[in-house]
Structure 1
Amino acid sequence: MTYSQPVRTAARPIRIRKRRVVGLLVVLAAIVVALGHRDPGSSSSATSPLPALLGEPRRAALGLTDGAIPDGTSVFDDDVPGVAKLDPALLSALRQAAADAAADGVSFVVDSGWRSADYQQHLLDEAVSKYGSAAEAARWVATPDTSEHVSGNAVDLGPSAAAAWLSERGAQYGLCRIYGNEPWHFELRPQAAGNGCPPTYADPTHDPRMQK
């Protein structure tokens, strides 16, 4: 009895480990089968939820070189293409205004500036998906052929305090709000220094330039 008892106690953990291994193998097999299963009604081009869960961009190639703007970008950041590729006259006016605003404790942050045509199309596609139709999306995002961002002639500024400061004082720099529904969107109107900014359009669909 002194020798048989240790044998029985040693054998028991081995049986338990084997059961665990078998159980794990069964679970792994079930996972493999589930991942390999495909709904007969689906296609290989169906959108996978995994990229969205991982935060993967829909177009990985779109980045700084296409006009994406990092958080906290100022009008003085020449190393950001979205700023550096703005029209020189617009950029000069923005920098003059930003310097004066800073004296009032207001900082300009560039939310969007120059954009490539590909990036503009990407934004338009997203807007159509968000708003449900091309007509509704047009109230917020122009086509690559009509966008003043693609030509480098428009900038979107934040935060709200900066947009408010420029809405009130922008005319003296030739910087004007263009759309009533976009208080952050500014373009250069040199004549505004003497004549004031022109009336805003309700939204881009009322702008004749968007009818090309």
Structure 2
Amino acid sequence: MLQNKIKNVLLVLPVVVVAGCSGLAVLDGDPDHDPAQGGAPEGVTLTPFDTNYPAVGNLDAALRKALQDAATDARQRKVDIHIASGWRTKEYQQKLLDAGIEKYGSLEKARKYVNTPEQSTHVSGKAVDVAPTRADDWLIQHGAKYGLCQVYSNEMWHFELLTTPGGKCPPTRTDAAG
């Protein structure tokens, strides 16, 4: 009995340490690691089933269900679907846009890769960025079965619910600006 209690305590300790580390990331204001803004704690890989994190839990219910169904089927084919980014706050989206402007040198160039908070479907919970590349490829080939479609030609990871399950996806747009 005592050995089981000790074993249980030891199993819990790593979780406490990880939770403490993620709390530090939140305190430094980094939205990439702040779950409340739509980020994930450093070292956490989100799946469509991690609804306790706002990045997944705040997704549109129909989009989340389609992702979960797709992930279940993909897993049977040895493909793991992870959520690189899902729902985000307007503040987080603005920080991404600001970083894009700094990286690309202008709002016009940045807009090819990052939408404004007012236009971002991530802010409304209607978009998800999927990883790894193998999962992107799988969803590009099979996503329409679930209603999931690649939206932008220059972002193979960005999916939205744009058709009925089994329907046909619309043509991809060139980029986030157009």
Shorter-chain TM-score range: 0.7 to 0.9
Match of 1:150 among 103, 123, 128: 123
User: Which position in structure 2 is the counterpart of 1:199?
Assistant: 171
Residues 17-166 of structure 1 aligned to structure 2 (within 5 Å): 60=29, 62=31, 63-70=34-41, 71-166=44-139
User: Which position in structure 1 is the counterpart of 2:14?
Assistant: none
Shift of 1:191: 3.1
SS at match of 1:187: strand
Shift of 1:192: 5.8
Q: Is the 8 A contact 1:75 1:109 kept in 2?
A: yes
Distance 1:193 1:96 in 2: 13
Considering fraction of residues, name the structure with more strand: 2
Match of 1:174 among 127, 142, 147: 147
User: Which position in structure 2 is the counterpart of 1:17?
Assistant: none
SS at match of 1:184: strand
Moved beyond 6 Å, runs of 4+:
none
TM-score (norm 1): 0.67
Q: Is the 8 A contact 1:192 1:198 kept in 2?
A: no
Q: Deviations over 1:78-101 (max 9, x none)?
A: 111100000000000000000000
Q: Is the 8 A contact 2:112 2:175 kept in 1?
A: yes
* Structure ID, larger Rg: 1
Query: Which structure 1 segments of 5+ residues have no match?
Result: 1-55, 207-212
Distance 2:51 2:89 in 1: 17
Query: Which structure 2 segments of 5+ residues have no match?
Result: 1-24
Change in CA separation of 1:192 and 1:92 when aligned onto 2, cut-off 3 Å? closer
Identity of aligned residues (%): 45
Distance 1:172 1:65 in 2: 32
How large is the Cα RMSD of the aligned pairs? 1.6
